[in-house]
Amino acid sequence: MTGRAFFRFLCAALAALMLTGCAPSDSPVIGTAANTDGITGTTGTDGEAETTGATGATGATGATGAETTAAPPATASPETASPETEPPETEPPETDPPETEPFLPSVGPDTVEELLASMTLHEKICQLFFIRADALDAGQSHVTSFTGAASETLAKFPVGGVIMMGENIKTPEQITALNAAISGALGIAPFISTDEEGGRVARLANNPAFGLKKYKSAADVGASGDEADALEMGRTIGGYLSLYGFNMDFAPDADVNTNPDNPVIGDRSFSPDAKIAARMAGAMADGLREHGVIPTFKHFPGHGDTAEDSHYGLAVSYKTHDEMLSCEWLPFMRAEDCIMTAHISVPNLTDGDMTPASLSHTVITDILRGELGFSGVVITDALEMGAITKMYGPGDAAVGAILAGCDMLLSPADLDEALAAVEDAVRDGTLTESRLDESVRRILTLKAKYGII
């Protein structure tokens, strides 16, 4: 039995054990939900900021309006106000993850087509959704264990991906078991991701229970200009993510930090120099891939030259096409597998249209896919973020992102409403099933490439 096959067997076994009551007695009991944040509020997260988000399956929709900027609330998110806290004196010593064999991907296009042909419309639509772990349970704010209620949620919504936030990650044993149980509960195994950029956005390394190597920031690594440093960073992070059951990372941050007043990117970017940022992001991605972890370049078309934080309201870049081509887009040309979009407006690319890039056909289909030739999976930034919810309801945002050319919808403000809207759009002809097939095919192909299915 291969290593990947054994892991799938282990996932199923752990899921079965946990469903029969093998979870710790103090583990919270979870119920059905579709809440991508688990906390009531106005803004969501692309996986980076642990900010308050939207309601669950029966929660409120986003408000309408065209607010282009919004001041952050008095209490800043950990992303904008460094999530790292002083570690306790008992913090375990920093350790390196065990060495693993280099990952060798394999692709099975025939299997992908057979699987796609066997799927129902509901199953196809569910593959497009990438939800928070907290969406597995409306009864608790932060899911840390897997029970029968979570299994029921996944049976109802066999989603394509699950993101783990910091609150979901407690100990090495706990997160390994949770990831395995979720993977084993789905017929088509999901992407399981987190934000492990290195620096202030690192869900595992910044948790003292793991004793992992920490990086000051991507900017600190990028300061050397040596790709070997970013490669080592990717290998280290990829090694421990794989060990704990993650198969995707929402990293590297491929933004070029050209605006010193940018409130959200800053030292998460490798460099204000586009060529250096491109080389370093590409090298980090190579290191992740060596361990079977899918890198996700973010945030296209480039969040580095904005003065607003899209977690709270619409951010705007006034760069022209040629300026972005020679700067912001250079790092994204290194992407092979997955790109995350940004909820920013780029009026000089869209003839003044202020539609967020994640919902813009011009940005996603004409530029990213057409001009730049990207053929991998495109995932939105979190649809529960203020830049979206202040202008669109969950259903309109979901349908709009698919129409724009996105493949996966991260953390919708209301999963039930968003999924129902997509189903209705297919029925009334706004979306065609063949359009859904394009995205599901890309998703399944990427999963097959990395041995997830």
Q: According to the model, what pLDDT value does residue 7 have?
A: 47
Whether 328 and 302 have beta carbons less than 8 Å apart is answered as yes
Q: What is the DSSP letter of 371?
A: I
Tens digit of pLDDT for each residue in 67-94? Answer: 333 333 333 333 333 333 333 444 445 5
Mean pLDDT of the chain: 83
Q: According to the model, what pLDDT value does residue 94 have?
A: 54
* Token pair 């078991």: residue: 177
Report phi then psi at 248, rounded to 5.
-145, 150
**C-alpha dist (Å) from residue 405 to 24, 31, 349, 361, 438:** 43, 33, 17, 6, 10
46 given a catalytic annotation: no
Whether 424 and 64 have beta carbons less than 8 Å apart is answered as no
What's the one-letter identity of residue 287? G
311 given a catalytic annotation: yes
Annotated catalytic residue: which of 381, 396, 407, 416?
A: 381
Fold (CATH) for 3-39+126-432: TIM Barrel (3.20.20)
DSSP string, 397-425: HHHHHHHHT-SBEES-S-HHHHHHHHHHH
Whether 339 and 298 have beta carbons less than 8 Å apart is answered as yes
Closest by CA position to 146, among listed 179, 115, 103: 179
Q: According to the model, what pLDDT value does residue 104 have?
A: 54
Tens place of pLDDT per residue across the chain (453 aa)? 444 444 454 544 444 444 433 333 333 333 333 333 333 333 344 444 443 333 333 333 333 333 333 333 333 333 333 333 333 444 445 555 555 555 555 556 788 999 999 999 999 999 999 999 999 988 778 999 998 889 999 999 999 999 999 999 999 999 999 999 999 999 999 999 999 999 999 999 999 999 999 999 999 999 999 999 999 999 999 999 999 999 999 999 999 999 988 888 999 999 999 999 999 999 999 999 999 999 999 999 999 999 877 887 889 999 999 999 999 999 999 999 999 999 999 999 999 999 999 999 999 999 999 999 999 999 999 999 999 999 999 999 999 999 999 999 999 999 999 999 999 999 999 999 999 999 999 999 999 999 999
Closest by CA position to 337, among listed 380, 384, 293: 293
* Residues ≥6 apart with Cβ < 8 Å to 205: 196, 198, 212, 213, 214, 215, 237
Closest by CA position to 292, among listed 237, 218, 232: 237
Q: According to the model, what pLDDT value does residue 308 have?
A: 78
Annotated catalytic residue: which of 299, 303, 311, 343?
A: 311
Token pair in block for residue 177: 């078991």
Q: According to the model, what pLDDT value does residue 140 have?
A: 77
> How far apart (Å, rounded) are the C-alpha atoms in residues 368 and 357?
11
> How far apart (Å, rounded) are the C-alpha atoms in residues 389 and 412?
9
